[in-house]
Structure 1
Amino acid sequence: MTLIVEDGTGKPDAESYASAADLVIYAGKFGVTIPADEPAQEALLRRAALAMDGMTWKGRKTSSDQALAWPRRGVELDCEIKPDNYLPARIEYGQMALAAEIHADDIDPPERRKGAITVDRVEGAVTREYAVIPSNSSRLLPAAPDRPSATQFADYLLKRGLFAVRA
């Protein structure tokens, strides 16, 4: 099935902000691993778009009929209100980065990753032990700590960075 790409008009059937061809170019530029076949690439982009829909973005949807979170109206960035059909390049790049992060989790699930080194002793032979990370640990991130998608989305999310909640 062909991927329906959002073009800034608020398509009611859009599934992605980027095409599979865009994802291949992105993967080549940034050296990330993605599946080789186009249907799997499109599935990754759909999964990333669904994850993005759960994020709290600045502004509000341009139309209640549009399928994806972008385009949005009332988005203020750098003291300037962006046009209603504005579709930032960082949203597209962020989706592709998120798709690559999802694929990284698919091929190397967090529960199989090793914890921090707790013992590293050198006496003839090297002995190394890793901490055990339970799968329900709050320290276990769903993808690598260097999440390029979070960087791409930062300016467009309603809250960015750290914030305190008074109890």
Structure 2
Amino acid sequence: MLIIEDGTGKPDAESYASAADLVLYAGKFGVTIPADEPAQEALLRRAALAMDGKTWKGRKTDSDQALAWPRRGVELDCQIKPDNYLPARIQYGQMALATEIHQDDIDPVEKRKGAVTLERVEGAVTREYATIPNTSGRLLPAAPDRPSSTQFADYLQRRGLFAVRA
């Protein structure tokens, strides 16, 4: 049974959304998810773990809470949000991330093709694809822009592009 964070900073929370929430999300947005509830819950747990690795605004409300949210000191639109604030976009973002993880599971990076770099037509057709580098050890997105990134943007320390000076 998945333990859902409700804004109180549960020390054993595993997710911001339930499997039933994920099923509704998948239906609304036409994305593929596993049919069985244990697999759906596993995806939500994996997404929550991935979210914990992000640098969010503010700090955890309680050092004993299991997940990154709720947070204190979160400023959004020139307002400091309450300490028990759990944005809906965090929940939607987790569900979007769960579906992206599932897409990566069923369509692995090594099977994808890059952009067409050569196409020649003379009798027989020759087509060459760019190599998709994966030197970082991280999965590349299934699409150029992931819905979860959009959902999380306002709540991350850094948003968009930024330069790093070497």
By the TM > 0.5 criterion, same fold?
Answer: yes
CA distance in 2, matches of 1:80, 1:73: 12
For 1:64-111, what per-residue CA distance to the aligned partner results, in whole angstroms no more than 9, with x for missing partners?
A: 111000000000000000001100000000000000000010001111
> Does the 8 A contact of 2:134 with 2:140 survive in 1?
no
CA distance in 1, matches of 2:71, 2:25: 24
Gaps of 5+ in 2: none
For 1:117-136, what per-residue CA distance to the aligned partner results, in whole angstroms no more than 9, with x for missing partners?
A: 01123345543221233442
Q: Residue 17 of structure 1 corresponds to which residue in structure 2? A: 16
Q: Residue 17 of structure 1: CA displacement?
A: 0.2
Q: Residue 94 of structure 1 corresponds to which residue in structure 2? A: 93
CA distance in 2, matches of 1:137, 1:118: 23
Work out the percentage of aligned pairs sharing the same amino acid: 87
SS in 1 for 2:25: helix
CA gap of 1:135–1:57, structure 2 versus 1, over 3 A, is closer
Q: Residue 55 of structure 1: CA displacement?
A: 0.5
Q: Residue 61 of structure 2 corresponds to which residue in structure 1? A: 62
For 1:35-68, what per-residue CA distance to the aligned partner results, in whole angstroms no more than 9, with x for missing partners?
A: 0000000000000000000100000101111100
For 1:8-56, what per-residue CA distance to the aligned partner results, in whole angstroms no more than 9, with x for missing partners?
A: 1111110000000000000011111110000000000000000000100
SS in 2 for 1:85: coil
Could you tell me the TM-score, scaled by structure 1's length? 0.93
SS in 2 for 1:128: strand
Could you tell me the TM-score, scaled by structure 2's length? 0.93
Query: Is 1:38 matched with 2:37?
Result: yes
| RMSD value, Cα | 1.8
